[in-house]
Amino acid sequence: SEALSKVKGCASGWVEFTCKYPKPNVKYQSIDVVTPKKTIRSFGKNVWENKGRVSLYHDTRNKKLRVAIKQLQHEDFGDYQCKFHQRSYSSQDTEEMKLGVETDGCQKQFIQTAYRTAKTTITCDYTGNKYKFFCKDNGFICEDILSTKSCLKSKGTFTLTETNSSFSVSISNVSSHDAGVYRCGVETHEGSYRAALTKIQLEVEATITKVTKFLTVGQNLTYWCRYPNGAPINKIICKGEDPSICETLVSTAQRNKNTGKFSMKEDKNKRNVTITVREVTTDDTGTYWCGVKSTDKTGSNKFFHKLVMTVASLTSTTTPASSSQSTTVSAERPGDSQFIITVLVIVGVVLLLLVLILILIYK
Ligand SMILES: *[C@@H]1O[C@H](CO)[C@@H](O)[C@H](O)[C@H]1NC(C)=O
Ligand SMILES: *[C@@H]1O[C@H](CO)[C@@H](O)[C@H](O)[C@H]1NC(C)=O
Ligand SMILES: *[C@@H]1O[C@H](CO)[C@@H](O)[C@H](O)[C@H]1NC(C)=O
Ligand SMILES: *[C@@H]1O[C@H](CO)[C@@H](O)[C@H](O)[C@H]1NC(C)=O
């Protein structure tokens, strides 16, 4: 029996660990996995065998048994043994594991709403130094999208960003195909186990109202945004390309909501919020989201209205026009001036000849 290996998983997450062959040169016929509750036997070779929440894969090529446990429950935490049998059950070699509870970065399901063609960022809290991965659930397994184990930091519309206290994955130009269940997870550097920390249900909203406004500096803008029945109380205006991490500028929960550049007036009967933006400047150019603040930690804020505002200063609108005019003028000029110079040269030469002829005649 080898030294006890430690494996850690999150309650209601999943974990996958391996039991290596205790003796690499032995051909094992079957393997028993003794869990804290019961014993499960693997007879198969190089196929997944599903035994309820536990799945086993006897990998004869890499000489190991993969053990995957879904929806971890309290009864799953404890001691595990992999008993490797040769032909006769009398002789067996044993590997032992301890499955403990992960405390870093575990979170229950989070529901995030994303909007078609916009960006969305899924944030995973984790401070440890294991490899981090991001995968999408296909109903059977969680297919890897990106991992810090490889140096590839983006794939298609997905980009992974790592900081000291978290890692996040952004999806740009979200489409309806991106909806589904994703997981953030960690993997030990030696590959002894992989564990899912967080489950994220991504919902993609296609029916958001989109408005584009072109304004000049100093103008006021008034627009309104309607919200559905039963929406949370606190309405917000948020600025940024990415609504999942945008900056809240004003909310109806603020006491002095009618001061400052942005103000909101709510008509609860019509489920209508009127927003006034006072005396815009070029810094106000950007994307604004109108929606509701989430009331709990299991879901993201929801938005119903997207405004793309472009503010131009009066001088900068006239400059490109006049410069394009002057370029068209100067583009015509070379031909004209060449013609004039040619005419002048010919006239000059003719005059000079006339003067010479006159001088010759009068001499
Ligand atoms: C992250 O960690 C590194 C070294 O561990 C440190 O130098 C750096 O300042 C940290 N960054 C932040 C933002 O805490
Ligand atoms: C966004 O994705 C759609 C298809 O889903 C594609 O037609 C479009 O060109 C993409 N836009 C950008 C800016 O990549
Ligand atoms: C914008 O609104 C403010 C305050 O409501 C007002 O004083 C100002 O005259 C308005 N400006 C324009 C250009 O309408
Ligand atoms: C919302 O309120 C504004 C004025 O405050 C009004 O012009 C608009 O028609 C209202 N929208 C709806 C759907 O009631």
pLDDT tens profile 45-78: 999 999 999 999 999 999 999 999 999 999 999 9
Tokens 């519309």, located at residue: 157
> What percent of the chain is predicted at pLDDT more than 90?
61
Q: CB of 199 within 8 A of CB of 110? A: yes
* Bridge partners for 291 per DSSP: 236, 303
Q: What is the mean pLDDT of the chain?
A: 87
pLDDT in tens, 286-295: 999 999 999 8
Cα 166 to middle of ligand 1, angstroms: 12
Which ligand is in closest contact with the Cα of 224? 4
Cα 126 to middle of ligand 1, angstroms: 14
Q: Which of 26, 22, 36 is nearest to 83 (CA)?
A: 22
Residue 331 has pLDDT above 80, yes or no: no
Written in H, E and C, the secondary structure of 163-231 is CCCEEEEEECCCCHHHCEEEEEEEECCCCCEEEEEEEEEEEEECCCEEEEEEEECCCCEEEEEECCCCC
Query: Residue 247 and residue 236: Cα distance in Å, rounded?
Result: 10
* pTM, full prediction: 0.78
- The answer, yes or no, to whether any atom of ligand 4 lies below 6 A from the CB of 272, is yes
Specify the ligand 4 atom closest to the Cα of 272.
1
DSSP string, 278-297: -S--GGG-EEEEEEE--SST
| Sign of the four-CA dihedral 312, 316, 320, 321 | positive
**SS3 state of residue 241:** coil
- The answer, yes or no, to whether any atom of ligand 4 lies below 6 A from the CB of 37, is no
Cα 159 to middle of ligand 1, angstroms: 21
What pLDDT band is residue 95 in, cutting at 50, 70 and 90? confident
Specify the ligand 2 atom closest to the Cα of 175.
5
Where is pLDDT greater, at 88 or 24?
24
**SS3 state of residue 341:** helix
- The answer, yes or no, to whether any atom of ligand 4 lies below 6 A from the CB of 222, is no
Ranking 85-99, 285-299, 331-345 by mean pLDDT, the lowest is 331-345
